[in-house]
Chains A and B, each alone.
Chain A
């Protein structure tokens, strides 16, 4: 397994934050990044996924053959799709089981689950087509779309990274201006994470991981970018701390461009995230020695992000049910968080242990 690194560390950090944010009402919610940023851990997670894409696609000097790249990325999309179906079915069974055990029909409603139980014919088709997503179980469908589109990003990147940036920006702006989003079915509505909006921050991660093009530009001017970024970081902190978010009636058209919208990943969220990323970049390498076990823990989560994310999603649902049964409060919330930390860590360890065992049996 690779040694702890900055990307895995932050990805692990984002995973733990996602776990906390997915247990509504938990005390620790008020300490997560969304209290200090216009965006939240989703931006970090998607940006880092884009950053990691660079390792598959390769740099300008060391290009992986395009056919291999497409094969790997589409394989990854299928893997993520399978994970989405698996955790959705687990979540439905957990809700159904809890509802039966606790004699509480209301639990069948949680997270947009009720259409599965009340309109099963249409909704099962929707689950498979990803047009019906459970609440909090809606980020993997975005990844499926991004990974399916990733070979196209790789091709554009080879032509010119600046071309990829321009195309991605145009698609993002097109979504923001027209308000277009993928529809949901059988329930009228749209995707919680609009892939046309979120692809931009993914592509940003992909391009900034490159040592030339936009990535090279950012590296060369990091000092100045940081100086310019600090006011935006502070503004975002103040704004998030005071819960400020402009209302639709107080911004000019096209409104989504000026709102702090999560579904479309509005520019304010993206810009402030990129500023925070510029400022904290390099911090990981300077962490004190006593912090190493924590760093190791987060990196391990990050190295196995898909597996840990699946466990994290299911675990947060169990945390919500526990909150329903036993109520909230600092002691119970601490217990929920501790179980989350331990189980997520164990699942990452187990994934690596299995991978190591498989590798050594192959060697034999």
Chain B
């Protein structure tokens, strides 16, 4: 019950943030910045379909301490940007523009290490190398689609993701999990659903910010006239990547102001 109340409170905070209220009062340590950028009309989706609030304490502390943010975007084709008309339209490039505007005065650098078609276990190996060499302040890990298609058993996928989250936490690096691609073709694929459920479960249990890309894109695909998928009906197009970047940006910025709530003897206190 207490956990549920905390979730409700967090959800309302996030919605307040997304509606444009100045949430800086929530956390004095957070950097001075504008509110999360509003979503453009084509990218509107319910907050619950984008991400459940989870704090990013380490990234917030880094932003408060220095005016430079190095973000590592790692993953597969959606990070690389298959389907975009040019690489400047992939999601990390568009995200950099949004964050640079939203986090005024912060020098935002995004390193793109998307390798198309890669399963999480291989990315997890590369992640260690990239973290050792580049020491990012925030990791955006887009994953799941290729594991589902390669039929990697969900429990094996789960073990890979959990062990990676564990060492990233121990190294005080916040990670944002960016979920599976939405495609009507795989809407009824059992493995696809299992991997999505697994990611959702991991993020909730580990307290890690998880962008529910599948749900957000499904909502947009079904509700809007403007297509977000490329001609192959699988990858995103420029607009799709724009929406993906906006969703990630909004979730990241909104959650900079969220602090972990823990039930105490006197009730729920931040």
Contact = CB atoms under 8 A, between A and B. Distances in A.
Q: Are both chains from one complex?
A: yes
Interface of A: 24-25, 103-115, 118, 135, 179, 187-189, 243, 245, 247-250, 255-256, 259, 261-264, 320, 323-324, 327-328
Contacts of A247: 128, 131, 167-168, 170-171
B156 interface: yes
Contact of A118 (B82, B132, B233): B82
B125 A262 contact: yes
30 contacts: A24-B121, A24-B147, A25-B150, A103-B185, A105-B233, A107-B149, A109-B76, A109-B77, A109-B82, A109-B116, A109-B117, A110-B117, A111-B117, A111-B118, A112-B115, A114-B117, A115-B80, A115-B116, A135-B117, A188-B113, A189-B113, A245-B128, A247-B128, A248-B128, A248-B135, A248-B171, A249-B167, A262-B125, A324-B150, A327-B191
Given A110-B117, A249-B172, A328-B153, A105 B232 contact: yes
Of B121, B153, B168, most buried by chain A (CB within 10 Å of CB) is B153
B128 A25 contact: no
Interface in B120-162: 121-122, 125-126, 128-129, 131-133, 135, 145-147, 149-153, 156, 159
Contacts of A262: 125
Given A105-B232, A106-B145, A112-B115, A259 B152 contact: no
A179 B156 CA distance: 30
Q: What 8 A-B pairs are tightest by C-beta distance, nearest first?
A: A249-B171, A110-B117, A247-B167, A109-B117, A105-B232, A25-B152, A248-B132, A114-B116
Contacts of B191: 327
Interface string B219-240: 0000000000000111100000
Size category, B interface: 35 or more
A25 B153 contact: yes
Interface in B180-215: 183, 185, 191
Contacts of A111: 117-118
B146 A110 contact: yes
A187 B119 contact: no
Interface in B72-103: 76-77, 80, 82-83
B21 to A, nearest CB: 35
Contacts of B26: none
A324 B190 CA distance: 12
Nearest to B129: A263
B131 A248 contact: yes
A25 B125 contact: no
A115 B167 CA distance: 31
